[in-house]
Structure 1
Amino acid sequence: EEGVAAEAPAAMARRRDFLLEGLAGTLRVPATPVLNAQARKRGDSDAVFERIATLHKGRVMLAKLLPRLRSGCSAAASLVWAVMRHSPTLLKEGEKAAVAAAAAAGNEASANNSAAELAKETAVAMSNLSYAATSSAIEALASAAMAADAAGSLPSFAAASGPGAGMASLARAVLEQGSRLGILGADYDASPEWSDCFTTLFNILDAHLATLEKYHVAAKGGEKKLAASIAERAGAEKLELPRDLLRACVPHCTAEQRETIRVRIQSCQ
């Protein structure tokens, strides 16, 4: 009887993990970081995830499910990739929904922002992903950021709050986990795919920092309307140096990229 009692909690934990991973499986999230033509030809689709993530209740459910999944399991990795793939749209639409809900209820928008909460849980889940899953996560994020940037719909990584800040937190989480696992962007020979994805993100970040410079000059010169206009075009109410993201970038940077960061920071002092 003592042996049975001792095994019961472990058995319950296994059943719990089995049920939660089964629930995650009903989302039919593809086990691939990027849905390219080949993946779509295989029948991979984010259709179920998209329908759920479009709804506030769906985002709340996903945000509660992710931290309850077994750390580093394939279901958690696939869900992280899905959030990364849809992060620009997910965060922007979530912000709009939160603002609308706040206006209707008279509450603070942040209290209703389920998309921001989902991004937060995704960033936390990143710290438990394996080497391979982390390498795939940066691919998913870089691909999504590049597509949104090309469409002119990517919120600025230099945003003080809102969707841009959410994107910055996801990028920081991926880069920090890469550093912990020894996946470094500057080491092209060891991890060429990671280096290419990091370069994509870095170039986007650098463009956002260039906009931040213009914002800083306008604000420092007392041109409030111009500064507000620059921030609005960047998809933010206010811009500021994304210091945490920049710190996360440094281990992955080449000497040239580090110099670029140094110059950008000096320009915004």
Structure 2
Amino acid sequence: MHAIEINQLSFEYQDGTKAVDQITLNIPMGAKVAILGPNGAGKSTFLHHLNGLKLPQSGTVSVMGIPLTKQNLKAIRQKVGLVFQDPDDQVFSATVLEDVQFGPRNLGMSEQEIEDVCRASLGSVGMLEFKHKAPFHLSYGQKKRVAIAGILAMKPDIVVLDEPMSYLDPQGKDDVAALLQGLNFMGKTIILSTHDVDFAASWADIIILMREGQLLTTGGPELLVNEEWIRKANLHLPTIARLFRMLGEKKLPVNEQEAARMLYKILYSEATSVD
């Protein structure tokens, strides 16, 4: 069973903008998926269909075998947690703990279940010690982690994040990347949109490229060093690949690990030829 099954999904805004246009796509369970494309590509609108924030105008969406319909919204949202781009749209209670308790309480969990799951969720994002803090006293990155904790507290199988790296400093990006990796190790399917090509190249196992509401292509991280697709998606090569392009290499590494292997082979070959 796929985590997400999408068939001919389309959504048009009242001004005539086709934000999602005839997308057909399957996402396997346990995948790490990065969706990339320029502003206006339809990434956010697409993500909003995965937990029923928006319903299909045409086509279908199925989550772990459950069709996305108005009648199935509660079941869908127990399977899929959506983290907004701006945590201020999601973190609104008087304290961090109250905010994380909001979702589980609405799901009807017992007080003991709520206490246990909130402690575990806040601990997993490194925010347990801040549980009695007011959210407006937190940094932007800390608010993002609280927003993620609030979603985790509802025990979703699939976590969807809209631009989780936006407006974060380098340490904040590293913290979120490590958190997402940990969630995937726990068995969660992670789907996110991003403009960060370097992050997507080193983290994701499935890349989705979008433009003007349409699905351009899907594949592995190697798509991000395919200059034809990168040009169509209005993106740029990962930093490490641009360096190798400047050095005149035809084969481009996707990430730092692949670059290190290529450099080792080049240096080893040169050392052997000298000998």
TM-score normalised by length of structure 2: 0.32
Which structure carries more strand by proportion? 2
Which structure carries more helix by proportion? 1
TM-score normalised by length of structure 1: 0.32
